[in-house]
Amino acid sequence: MAMAAILLLILALFSNSKADQDFDVRQHLSTVTRYSAVKDIVDDSFLPSDIPDGCTPIHLNLVARHGTRTPTKKRMRELEKLAAHVQELVKDAKEKNLSLQKVPAWLQKWESPWKGKLTGGELDIKGEEEMYQLGIRVRERFPDIFNEEYHPDVYPIKTTQVPRASASAVAFGMGLFSGKGSLGPGRHRAFAVTSESRASDLVLRFFDCCQTYKDFRKNHGPAVDNLKEPILTEITSALARRYEFNFTRQDISSLWFLCKQETSLLDITDQACSLFSPTEVALLEWTDDLEVFILKGYGKSLNYRMGVPLLKDVVQSMEEAIKAKEDNQAPGSYEKARLRFAHAETVVPFSCLLGLFLEGSDFQRIQKEEPLGLPPKPPQNRNWRGSTVAPFAGNNMLVLYSCPANSSSKYFVQVLHNEHPTRMPGCGGTDFCPFEVFEERIVRPHLKHDYNTLCNVNLDQPKQKPETTTGTTTF
């Protein structure tokens, strides 16, 4: 019996060691995750549909988040405060002749890579590449859609007024239309990118025009912090013991943020991230995912119902494509793709409107307007992960197919998330859904909710000028 117990202990230790070796922190940074690290993570239990013979794509809707960005000015100042506090702790330890042997050498002399930088939040060069390559892949995957001569009415590109989103749209367009023009060695061509005012963009910045939502985020932010607090406290104590260094909870929060920024922007995983064990990273990731779930996702129905203007815009574009097909309109005279670039606050609610990333029978619960439980805590598995729901450059594509007359339906919708077919609970768990079923089961239940009523919009008031200081911080 004693020998068996020892063998079990050795096996458990070996299994944990193997799991730690296989752990890739680049895939566990919630919504700060780079697209390349997670774009090919799929549900192995789901078998995508075989597109029936004779079915051809006739229209594509894209809703994408901007690519990898730099930290905002506010977060850069936070990292400078972290550096200053660490230096104070090091100085204090030396004055008291305390050992710093367990404190990593890099941390003792660390300065923020963004120290002194005056601007932030812009699209990073890695984000440019993400969007450029995405544009190339989309064109190559759907040659039947992108076979027309460019015209802004055929391939409209829409973005929010936030520079990282519009820059992402430009990078995507450069990839999409590369080799199709006469500009420079890459034979690029000019193309139009349009946006609405921040103060009235109900399609892509519905969250910033919704007073009810802004009040909800303001009122529930402290509650989310309270949910995260026990995990931060536990990990703060663990790191203080491990490194014999007087870390505060704010230090740990900032070091976790630094871990995400170093990994996504600088490809550094052996500094801030290495301070945490894989178990601790998984817990910190979970706290970030909770915040996304509660304040942007299924945690409150308002979060996604306010996105109905976007859902209507998507369905309207499909209906127009069907009409063009039925009327045999001449090629080049109608829209073939509607391409949108925005933020996590846009992509996350849109994914929820489609019913993606739900657990078990949760789709029926949201249809009945019943509240959902929080995503399971590690080590339990969960579908809701910020790193796959809305990484940098995360996207949903809805592809409209025209099928032969002998099919069960003339038109089908296929949903791709991060370029992979994904199941729609509202369509029986398939990724390839008859258009009328998609409209009936997924779209129509949401349309009973009026945006102006949900968001307490006073239509009689004059529109305010957009002010960056009063809007919701976008990611």
Residues of the chain with pLDDT under 70: 1-21, 457-475
Torsion-angle region of 70 (φ positive above 0: left; ψ -120 to 50: alpha; else: beta): beta
Delineate the domains of the chain, giving CATH numbers in brackets.
Answer: 25-70+123-208+304-455 (3.40.50.1240), 73-121+211-293 (no CATH)
SS3 of 304, please?
Answer: helix
The answer to whether the CB of 318 falls within 8 A of the CB of 258 is no
* β-strands 395-402, 56-65 pairing: antiparallel
pTM: 0.92
- For residues 216 and 302, the answer to whether their CB atoms sit within 8 Å is yes
- Per-residue tokens: 174: 């450069």
Q: Which residues are bridge partners to 337 per DSSP?
A: 60
pLDDT for 203-253, tens place per residue? 999 999 999 999 999 999 999 999 999 999 999 999 999 999 999 999 999
pLDDT value, residue 465: 41
Q: What pairs with residue 421 in β-bridges? A: 416
Return the amino acid letter for 417: H
Q: In the numeric block, which tokens belong to residue 274?
A: 């290495």
Taken in order 260, 261, 266, 270, the sign of the CA dihedral is: negative
What confidence score (pLDDT) does residue 462 get?
45
CA distance 135 to 390: 18
